[in-house]
Amino acid sequence: MPAAMGACAPTVRAVSSAPMPSLRDLLAAHAPLLVLDAASTRVQVGLFPADGQATWQTSEDEAGVAVFTCIEKLGVELGDVGAFVFCDGPGSILGIRTVAMAVRTWCVLKPRPIFAYTSLAVVAHASGQPGLAVISDARRDSWHLFQIGSGLKRVPTAALENLPRLVTPEGFRNWMPLPPTTQHVPYSLADLLPRVADIDLFLPTEAPDAFLHEEPSYVTWTPHVHRAPAPR
């Protein structure tokens, strides 16, 4: 997960002006779809034909092995895939970027549409509970927070104290202790995605990568040649 930088003032993920289709829209326009998710400790890969009856493979190996093992077990011919759908976060930054790099490579060989979705948004919408607060660790005493109607934010720990119900997806690593009332909920896309098939959650992208709440800023510096201290 990306580290929070500086003070933990709430920040909201930038909203794209591009239209966000639903899974059903993607199936109608681009099937078969290959869905890849390495946000949790369990990599999940699903192949969706036009009828939406997906087949899935999962693996708890590291993402660089698991993604390709799952694809092989599914018997996917990558050249036949109509579009790629992947989780861009929050979650394992290494896993997400491994998937993103693979998708970039496949689309160099044969250009196809690419769509990204937010892990916490899928959990929230699939729950059917509008007030549910879905969280994951954002490091440095801050948390990714998604609530329906509010979008994805990064907030300090103190901001979670008055929320009525907190959940976090299973298999998402945390470096700080979870707030004491937090419950774990399953993160199984085979169960979650059918529940959100008609919700516009998928963002088209030409440059797949792990999401950032905001673009990173860098401090410039002037290099100096190191010299021995002058003799006294």
User: What residues does 100 pair with on adjacent strands?
Assistant: none
pLDDT band at 16 (very low <50, low <70, confident <90, very high): low
| Confidence band, pLDDT 50/70/90 cuts, at residue 130 | confident
* CA atoms of 125 and 134, how far apart (whole Å): 10
Q: Who's near 231: CB < 8 A, 6+ residues apart? A: none
Give me the domains of the chain, ranges plus CATH numbers. Answer: 11-204 (3.30.420.40)
- What confidence tier does 58 reach under pLDDT thresholds 50, 70, 90? very high
In this prediction, residue 4 has a pLDDT band, given cuts at 50, 70 and 90, of very low
Report whether 106 contacts 112 (CB < 8 A): yes
Proportion of the chain above pLDDT 90, given as a percent:
79
The answer to whether the CB of 12 falls within 8 A of the CB of 213 is yes
Which is nearest to 189 in space by CA: 134, 121, 122? 122
pTM reported for the whole predicted model: 0.86
> Which token pair is 195?
């529940």
Lowest mean pLDDT among 42-46, 168-172, 215-219: 215-219
pLDDT tens profile 71-88: 999 999 999 999 999 999
Q: What whole-number distance in Å separates Cα of residue 118 and Cα of residue 3?
A: 17
What lies within 8 Å, CB to CB, of 116 at 6+ separation is: 85, 86, 87, 88, 202, 203, 205, 208, 211
Q: Is the pLDDT of residue 3 over 70?
A: no
